[in-house]
Structure 1
């Protein structure tokens, strides 16, 4: 195999990482996404396994360090460096597989499956992973977004990756002046599959309606520290709910069927007697409808729970949802028994946050509601199982206070809108100080609150029990792409080894003996 110079390949990887970052918020130019993915394929072309892994790693570093740069300014530079490094390594691992996969016919198909599998693995491992940066999350407000109702987040990532790799294959064919029409037709076909749902969106029939009130109470002080005055945070939500009840009684707004508070609307155990508990009861008594409180609940000497609690005016606290994916080194310390840090921000995590396991919807005012807390919305094992289990409406309780001055808020809201399309459900988002809103099943925002304000959104929303194709498929796309990847790696490894043997210089043939000289007269045979 003829080796390409490494420096131009590294430069192309840098360009690809920048283009992919620009596909997401805050730049939000999603048409750059196929170009960024294509650069990955072109940068790793005609390289050995090790060199391809290095180029893939450089692509991952450029992309991920810039994509979650908000973590540096909110959580801390140490957490940003650690998480970005771990996530970038996955793009390097994928790079190791590229020379193997490229030995196969129709390699863009197999490489797209490998990219999708890589996203799946890093979204769940290690320590529950980090889904940020999946290709599907850049698709909101594009003609490709409605496709998520048919194929889910995993399927949409695959189609987007395939479009980029087909573009790369077309570029290679054009440079080599071979099969240009074939690969141009394939690329157009993939794009047609992506945008067809925009013309034929999957409409989920509604079976009823309910009215929800979303309360954004705001965070006092600097606005980026929920603990700066946590009791005032709770009081803000209490006062806003009491005022809502007065407005509803006077007919200025519709009477809600339930009220949604955000995550961390109480930063202490709301069940303990005191001002926080009394404030919640005051709000519930005024509203006379259930209030879904976001609270940190005592889980014993070693643990706390981050929960959404349905607080009924007659029966008190009832159904609860517990956050499935606490943030490692943000809400718990992995392997604390082995390593218990007592420095920096880590010293503030005195107790670990336990993970929830509930997949059944909450029952709120006669409605089955699928809940998620903050980063949970980015994981495939939180909302989709609740929808399949009968959720008629979706809610997200989040506390974006730590990220209020960053672009994390915009990225998370984009993911949330895609979840509404994927499930075919109305979705209500309550945040402490931004970004709260009510989202329709087509991903459009029908109401929103300005960040860093106290706001109440009252909206009539539809209910549904029907399932989109994506919800019916469940985890099958993930399983299929994983099997495709494993098969491609095995087949590619065999082909790669044979090609290496073929490319090795053949052993030099022994020199032929010089032809014998004609016999001299004295050696001539006797006749």
Structure 2
């Protein structure tokens, strides 16, 4: 370890190593999906930061690691954003600077067991605060939250029903800190072992005692995935293919048919012929059809992305307009300043308009659905609110065709497992070009994924469950707890600094001496 630290005397070399160390957690997300690696993925970064010679250098190590983390988990955006991905990584990486300082503050040098015990609470709380801030929609949203890498682990999904993906992130960071303490701090291994044991106990307790979704019904939902459609009239060609695939569902006793994001490229009010064709499909299949319109509306100015429900008699009147838009992809923040981005990457030429409220739709057969559009499936609070409003099934309509040959489709599909587990509601993730997926109320995968090479219509037998998970009931309590921990930390540091300032320097008292004139030893 000391030899390694000596080799990192160059600031540039150290920064590069920090960026590489920060990028390691990307291997826990799809496509690699090395979920087990999450519990040690932060250890190299932690060990590097704790060895920083100063608090300032530790903050820089945090910044560089955060840059590496963000660029790695968003690397598939490179063809669209070009240089912007590095600029965004550098700006948002600044959020990890205080976290880097905290790592050195509590793990640097030869920390006492008490300081290590505090670190096992403070450092995961600091990480959660970083994730909370960067999860704001205007900063890119909660894509790549560390705990999301546990989407396929049954015990982790049970924990998600208790505290959402935030609780998973907290525990993953805590285990990483414990591993770093076990490796680097010989005299403080007891708190580290206790943390690992406590994490195992918490997982076991959640598995045994957390409320489980009680299956109380079933529904049959069909996903229509048309695949890649190219050509000058791609919107018309895609609609024709979706229509043809939907007709294959006739006689299969489905309750709902779901098309992906931007499955209809025209305003239905201006193209009543398309509404009539979809209504005919509804009559033929005996099911309502949920389409997604990406077009300029005739009843109000601007372009909207909207989930529209169409029944046998045409549009039912249920419509949801996308509320949270993708920065640069669907709008450009501060367009008057950053509008030149359209000439560099595939940024939005015109800003989409936002919806104002979430909607729960009533489908035939007594089914209530809560639609989300693409980017929105990454936000735990949106699916939680739909569950609170009475949705029986969560529906995500998405399109990742721009990133067809990257890790993005698999990463996006995996998020639906977490939303299902958090809310205790099944979730359907329907896309244009894959990956489409369906998950049960506990986050378990139902049937195979529809990969990026598939163009098909598939029916899923979806179990329904009701009741309220602890996450739906209490919300983002792990984040609130982390904020309290950090507030208590700041208050304690403030009181300590105030006492030091009031007390002044300690007086220089000469050591006591024995009768023979020699300094007294302890015990004399």
TM bucket by the smaller chain? Answer: 0.7 to 0.9
Between the aligned partners of 1:432 and 1:373, the Cα distance in structure 2 is 12
- 1:262 alignment counterpart: 260
Decide whether the 8 Å contact of 2:318 with 2:361 is kept in 1.
Answer: yes
Decide whether the 8 Å contact of 2:140 with 2:327 is kept in 1.
Answer: no
Decide whether the 8 Å contact of 1:217 with 1:454 is kept in 2.
Answer: yes
- 2:184 alignment counterpart: 172
- 1:353 alignment counterpart: 352
List gaps (5 residues or longer) in structure 1: 510-527
Q: How does 1:287-326 map to 2 (within 5 A)?
A: 287-299=285-297, 303-314=302-313, 316-326=315-325
- 1:521 alignment counterpart: none
* Normalised TM-score (structure 2): 0.84
Decide whether the 8 Å contact of 1:399 with 1:432 is kept in 2.
Answer: yes
Does 2:233 correspond to 1:234?
Answer: no
Between the aligned partners of 2:106 and 2:388, the Cα distance in structure 1 is 35
Decide whether the 8 Å contact of 1:359 with 1:386 is kept in 2.
Answer: yes
- 2:151 alignment counterpart: 140
Decide whether the 8 Å contact of 1:6 with 1:51 is kept in 2.
Answer: no
- 1:193 alignment counterpart: 202
Larger radius of gyration: 1
- 2:453 alignment counterpart: 452
* Greater shift in the superposed pair: 328-337 or 102-111: 102-111
- 1:215 alignment counterpart: 224
| 2:170 alignment partner, one of 158, 164, 174 | 158
- 1:131 alignment counterpart: 142
| 1:64 alignment partner, one of 65, 70, 90 | 70
Report the alpha carbon displacement of residue 326 of structure 1 after superposing the two structures with TM: 0.8
Between the aligned partners of 1:462 and 1:477, the Cα distance in structure 2 is 29
- 2:32 alignment counterpart: 27
| 2:123 alignment partner, one of 72, 94, 111 | 111
- 2:424 alignment counterpart: 424
Between the aligned partners of 1:94 and 1:390, the Cα distance in structure 2 is 39
- 1:203 alignment counterpart: 212
* Normalised TM-score (structure 1): 0.83
- Number of aligned positions between the proteins: 490
Between the aligned partners of 1:39 and 1:228, the Cα distance in structure 2 is 51
CA shift digits 1:263-322 (9 cap, x unpaired): 110122232126544543443343342110111143578622111111121352421122
* Greater shift in the superposed pair: 427-436 or 335-344: 335-344
Decide whether the 8 Å contact of 1:369 with 1:393 is kept in 2.
Answer: yes
Q: Secondary structure of 1:445's partner?
A: coil
CA shift digits 1:10-52 (9 cap, x unpaired): 5763453243122222222122222222333322226433211
Q: 1:489 to 1:32 in 2, by over 3 A?
A: farther
Between the aligned partners of 1:494 and 1:17, the Cα distance in structure 2 is 33
Report the alpha carbon displacement of residue 188 of structure 1 after superposing the two structures with TM: 2.2
Cα RMSD (Å)? 3.3
Does 2:334 correspond to 1:328?
Answer: no
- 1:37 alignment counterpart: 42
Between the aligned partners of 1:27 and 1:228, the Cα distance in structure 2 is 36
Decide whether the 8 Å contact of 1:144 with 1:195 is kept in 2.
Answer: no
List gaps (5 residues or longer) in structure 2: 510-524
Decide whether the 8 Å contact of 1:422 with 1:471 is kept in 2.
Answer: yes
Q: Secondary structure of 2:41's partner?
A: helix
* Greater shift in the superposed pair: 8-17 or 304-313: 8-17
Between the aligned partners of 1:128 and 1:232, the Cα distance in structure 2 is 35
Between the aligned partners of 1:326 and 1:228, the Cα distance in structure 2 is 26
Decide whether the 8 Å contact of 2:23 with 2:70 is kept in 1.
Answer: no
| 1:84 alignment partner, one of 89, 107, 113 | 89
Between the aligned partners of 1:262 and 1:333, the Cα distance in structure 2 is 24
Between the aligned partners of 1:449 and 1:168, the Cα distance in structure 2 is 40
* Greater shift in the superposed pair: 481-490 or 115-124: 481-490
Q: Secondary structure of 1:331's partner?
A: coil
* Greater shift in the superposed pair: 14-23 or 114-123: 14-23
Report the alpha carbon displacement of residue 159 of structure 1 after superposing the two structures with TM: 1.5
Decide whether the 8 Å contact of 2:68 with 2:89 is kept in 1.
Answer: no
Between the aligned partners of 1:260 and 1:76, the Cα distance in structure 2 is 30
- 2:521 alignment counterpart: none
Between the aligned partners of 1:309 and 1:72, the Cα distance in structure 2 is 32
If each structure's helix is expressed as a fraction of its own residues, which one has the higher value? Answer: 2
Q: 1:91 to 1:275 in 2, by over 3 A?
A: farther
* Greater shift in the superposed pair: 276-285 or 257-266: 276-285
Report the alpha carbon displacement of residue 71 of structure 1 after superposing the two structures with TM: 1.0
Report the alpha carbon displacement of residue 442 of structure 1 after superposing the two structures with TM: 2.9
